[in-house]
Chain A
Amino acid sequence: MRRPTHMIGMLMVYAILLLTVVTTLLPLVWMITTSIKTPGEVFVYPPKWIPTEFAWSNYTTAWEMAPWNKYFFNTALYTASTVTGVLITSVASGYAFSKLEFKGRKTLFLAYIGTMMVPSQVTIIPVFIILSQMNWVDTYSGLIIPGLTSAFGCFLMRQFITGIPTELIESGLIEGGGHMRILASIVTPLLKPAVATLGIFTFMGTWNNFFWPLIVTNSDELRTVQVGLSSFQNQYGDGDWGAMMAAATMVSAPVLILFLVAQRYFIEGIAMTGIKG
């Protein structure tokens, strides 16, 4: 183990990894440091890594330049409704596909999972037309309702629920509980890690979703932070990099904080879809 060649090898491994880490994180560090630089220091060449004075004013400037409180409210509503809807429908359908016996269960499940491969560009135009026929374009209903179920969520929950012993459910049945009661009082409490994983994934996907809100909303009243950030960029981009980076940091912050707090669930969720998928 202590051979010199081994030492050199390990040093090289560390060197390569550290270099990759630095390259990966540099853009994010750059985003944050630029966001707290004074306009004078943003355009200093060579670039300054740590600002001589912290200018929080970029955040207030950015905040005043667009109706961010509306954007954040809309995104919070959109995200909270989607997470709630997806969790409920995924636990319910995952349970049915995993523990209940009905004709065509396997075929239906495979067909359902197969729909995950359908690109959103194929369905977005017809769905947009359906919504416009229902006068749902540029409304909260149109923004939220189509995303309340998820094939991925159903798949993930089924994987978790399959791991719950069937005996547990059968003993519940013998004690006289119906499947709905078993689902609520026996299965769901055992699903905490799964619910956390799916909840976090759905939160991230919805908070970060750009394509769908871009298509289905068009007034400032209904815009989400991602679409808001994009129009902010179109209006004020190229000039005020400090304010731009402040806005980008604000929009990234909730996902970033969630990641730092609940990193384990992110990693486990991805590992799980990758291996068992």
Chain B
Amino acid sequence: MRKAASVSFPLFLIKRVRGGANMKKFKRIFGKDAAVAWMLIAPNVVWIAVFTLFAIFYSFYLSFTEVDLFANQFTLVGLDNYKQSFADPVFTKSIVNTTVFTIFTVAFSMSIAIVVAVLLNSKIKGRKLMRAAFFLPSILPVIAVAQVWIWIYEPSYGLLNFFLEKIGVGNPNHPFQWLVSPDTAMLSVIIFSIWKSFGYNMVIYLAALQGVPRSLYEAAEIDGANAVQKFFRITIPGLRPATFFILITSISGSFQTFGEIYALTNGGPMNQTNMIAYYIYQYAFEFFKIGRASAVSVLLFILLFAITIWQWNSYQKKED
């Protein structure tokens, strides 16, 4: 309800009353701008109805079927797809991998982001230039930068092993295999993702820092608080809304990690970096098991939904 509307509202009715009694009734039931409003939102409503809402229901339906796309046959198979998924060790592994990947990537990306944002927020020369530098990896195409990291991780000529040898880590005769070895593949993917994502989070934190009142810091300084105390007592609590936002979007983003895996490892070696989004892709578009893939995607949906609700609740609880 806008206050200003009370002035022009009667005028507006007089001008538009041409439509007669039916029009008036229509406006009373659906709101005064309903006709033009629905016209303006129609494309968005139709698109979301078909490509998201219908798609979600269809996804549930598909998860109970076995699909033969070439013959255009959909056979109901009950819970078979779910049972098969849970019986598949690769599926369980992909869930574990996704969880490990998410915890480490999100934790490190956010910690680096917050520290860098706080440091950048002081009176620093070249602040904007540095902000741009940190932000750069997050806007570049994942396939292209993954390519660069494959080259950096290359065991014999790669940059990373060269640097490590320089500081005396590693044995030149047995160079670290990074993406190739089952022991280090996940670590390599995580390092890549932290590099790619922290700058984006940093920009959000930097913007949020402008909203933390200076007076709080000044009061703390009078009380003799040092930099570390101020960071933990004022900065971190002041950034709670931003942290909540980043946490929700990062966790959801991490669970959907696909391009990174496709380009860096193809889920290997030995499914060591196979994650849930990649697993869905493989089943749907490489093995053509549409039903199996749909069952897993429904599980992913429920899982992400539950995580978001849980985060939302715990955020609200602490706010009170």
Binding site for B on A (CB under 8 A): 9-10, 13-14, 16-17, 20-21, 23-28, 30-31, 34, 42-43, 45-47, 89, 92-93, 95-97, 100-103, 105, 108, 112, 115, 117-130, 132, 146, 148-149, 151, 154, 166-167, 170, 173-174, 176, 178-180, 183, 204, 207-208, 210-211, 214-215, 225-226, 229-230, 233, 237, 241, 244-245, 247-249, 251-252, 255-256, 259, 263, 266-267, 270-272, 274-275, 277
Is B59 in the interface zone, CB < 8 Å from A? yes
Q: For A100, what are the chain B residues with a Cβ–Cβ distance below 8 Å? A: 31, 33, 36-37, 40
Asked whether B134 lies within 8 Å of A20 as measured between CB atoms, the reply is yes
Known contacts A14-B124, A27-B149, A121-B256, A266 near B139 by CB under 8 Å: yes
Knowing A120-B256, A245-B151, A267-B135, the reply to whether A27 touches B143 (Cβ < 8 A) is no
Asked if B140 contacts A127 (CB within 8 A), the reply is no
Given A26-B159, A124-B284; 19 other pairs, CB 8 A cutoff: A13-B119, A17-B124, A93-B44, A96-B41, A119-B304, A122-B297, A125-B290, A127-B55, A173-B15, A178-B36, A180-B36, A229-B143, A248-B145, A248-B147, A248-B148, A251-B141, A252-B144, A271-B207, A274-B208
From A46, A167, A251, A270, contact of B143 by CB (8 A): A251
| A245 and B148 within 8 A (CB) | yes
CA distance A151 to B48 in the complex (A): 8
Task: List B35-51 residues whose CB lies under 8 Å from chain A.
Answer: 36-38, 40-41, 43-45, 47-48, 50-51
Contact B69 A132 (CB under 8 A): yes
CA distance A102 to B276 in the complex (A): 41
- Minimum CB–CB distance from A246 to chain B (whole Å) comes to 11
Is B151 in contact with A241, judged by CB distance below 8 angstroms?
A: yes
Give chain B's interface secondary structure class. Answer: helix
Determine the chain B residues whose CB is within 8 A of the CB of A277 once the complex forms.
Answer: 245
- Do residues A256 and B40 form an inter-chain contact, with CB atoms below 8 A? no
B136 touches A121 (CB 8 A): no
Note all chain A residues with C-beta closer than 8 A to B300: 119, 121-122
Name which of B1-9, B79-87, B88-96, B216-224 contacts chain A. B1-9
Contact across chains for B277 and A255 when beta carbons are under 8 A apart: no
Q: Are A17 and B8 in contact (CB under 8 A)?
A: no
**B35: min CB distance to chain A, Å:** 9
Is B8 touching A173 in the complex (CB atoms < 8 A)?
yes
* Residue B310 CB within 8 A of the other chain: no
Given A28-B136, A45-B157, A122-B298, is A20 in contact with B31 using a C-beta cutoff of 8 Å? no
Q: Is the CB of A274 within 8 A of B207?
A: yes
Whether A119 and B301, one on each chain, are in contact in the complex, defined by CB atoms closer than 8 angstroms, is: yes
26 contacts between A and B (CB under 8 A): A13-B122, A17-B116, A17-B120, A21-B133, A24-B195, A27-B152, A28-B145, A31-B145, A34-B151, A93-B43, A100-B37, A102-B30, A108-B45, A112-B44, A117-B252, A130-B55, A154-B44, A166-B4, A211-B259, A230-B143, A256-B136, A259-B136, A259-B139, A263-B132, A270-B200, A271-B207
Q: A106: shortest Cβ distance to chain B, in Å? A: 11
Question: Contacts of A244 on B, CB cut-off 8 Å?
Answer: 147, 151
Q: Are B41 and A92 in contact (CB under 8 A)?
A: yes
B142 lies within 8 A of chain A by Cβ:
yes
Are A229 and B37 touching (Cβ within 8 A)? no
Residues of B whose CB lies within 8 Å of any CB of A are: 2, 4-5, 7-8, 11-12, 15, 29-34, 36-38, 40-41, 43-45, 47-48, 50-56, 58-59, 62, 67, 69, 112, 116, 119-120, 122, 124, 130-137, 139-145, 147-152, 154, 156-157, 159, 162, 195, 199-200, 203-204, 206-208, 211, 227, 241-242, 245-246, 252, 255-256, 258-259, 262-263, 276-277, 280-281, 284-285, 290, 293-294, 297-298, 300-301, 304-305, 308
Count chain A CB atoms within 10 A of each CB in B41, B204, B245, B293 and give the residue with the most. B41
Q: In the bound complex, do residue A102 and residue B8 qualify as a contact, i.e. CB atoms below 8 Å apart?
A: no
B145→A27 contact, CB < 8 A:
yes
Instruction: List the A residue with the shortest CB-CB distance to B122.
Output: A13
Q: In the complex, what's the smallest C-beta–C-beta distance from A273 to chain B, in angstroms? A: 8
In the complex, the 4 A-B pairs of residues with the closest C-beta atoms, listed nearest first:
A271-B207, A102-B31, A274-B204, A100-B33
Complex contacts, A23 vs chain B, CB 8 Å: 195
Q: How far is the CA of A146 from the CA of B43 in the complex (A)?
A: 11
Known: A149-B43, A267-B131. A30 touches B30 (CB 8 A): no
Measured in the bound complex, the distance between the Cα atoms of B46 and A112 in whole Å is: 11
In the complex the two chains form, what is the Cα distance from A14 to B262 in whole Å? 37
Question: A125-B284, A271-B207 are known contacts. Are A47 and B159 too (CB-CB below 8 A)?
Answer: yes
Closest to A120 in B: B256
Closest to B154 in A: A241
Contact A102 B34 (CB under 8 A): yes
The answer to whether A210 and B259 touch across the interface, beta carbons within 8 angstroms, is yes
Bound CA–CA A108/B45 (angstroms): 9
CB closest chain-A residue, reference B304: A119
